[in-house]
């Protein structure tokens, strides 16, 4: 039954993740889509209408590409942040602090509010 529904969903435009042998890899997103399909069918909605509704609501062609794009943006942002932190740290190289908290404005204890 799962293969029948999966084939029908694919024919309507739903994209499943697949391995190198073209086997479908069902992920949580797909499970939600299947549950929605079964819910529609159990409510008496015609099969093709239910398939079309699920595809409209849950199909993401190229989801992998979108995810990879977002991951690349995050990686680039992390690299920029690391570079900026390195530059900031370079500004403080050679600095030394010898004052104790007792020397700081005469207070023996520093508190933060």
Instruction: State the residue range of the domain holding 16.
Output: 1-60
Instruction: Answer whether residue 102 shows pLDDT above 70.
Output: no
Report, as an integer, the average pLDDT of 24-44.
89
Answer yes or no: do 52 and 71 share one domain.
no
Residues 45 and 70 in one domain: no
Name the domain count of the chain: 2
Residues 17 and 33 occupy one common structural domain: yes
* 1 and 47 in a common domain: yes
Instruction: Tell whether 25 and 49 lie within a shared domain.
Output: yes
| C-alpha distances in Å from residue 93, one per residue of 22, 28, 76, 99 | 55, 49, 26, 17
Same-domain pairing of 55 and 87:
no
End-to-end CA distance of the chain: 62
Same domain assignment for residues 44 and 14: yes
* DSSP letter for each residue of 26-84: --HHHHHHHHHHHHHHHTT--HHHHHHHHHHHH--TTHHHHHHHHHHHHHHHHHHHHHH
Distances (CA, A) of 6 to 25, 74, 85: 11, 32, 48
Q: What pLDDT sits at residue 113?
A: 43
CB-based contact 51:6 (threshold 8 Å): no
pLDDT tens, residue by residue, 75-85:
888 999 989 98
């Amino acid at each position: 039954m799962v293969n029948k529904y999966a084939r029908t969903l694919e024919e309507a435009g739903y994209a499943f993740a697949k391995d190198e042998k073209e086997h479908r890899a069902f992920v949580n997103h797909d499970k939600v889509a299947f549950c929605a399909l079964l819910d529609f069918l159990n409510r008496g909605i015609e099969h093709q209408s239910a398939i079309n509704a699920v595809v409209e609501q849950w199909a993401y062609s190229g989801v992998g590409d979108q995810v990879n794009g977002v991951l690349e943006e995050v990686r680039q942002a992390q690299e920029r942040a690391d570079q900026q932190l390195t530059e900031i740290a370079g500004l403080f190289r050679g600095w030394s602090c010898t004052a104790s908290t007792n020397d700081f404005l005469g207070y023996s204890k520093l508190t933060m509010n």
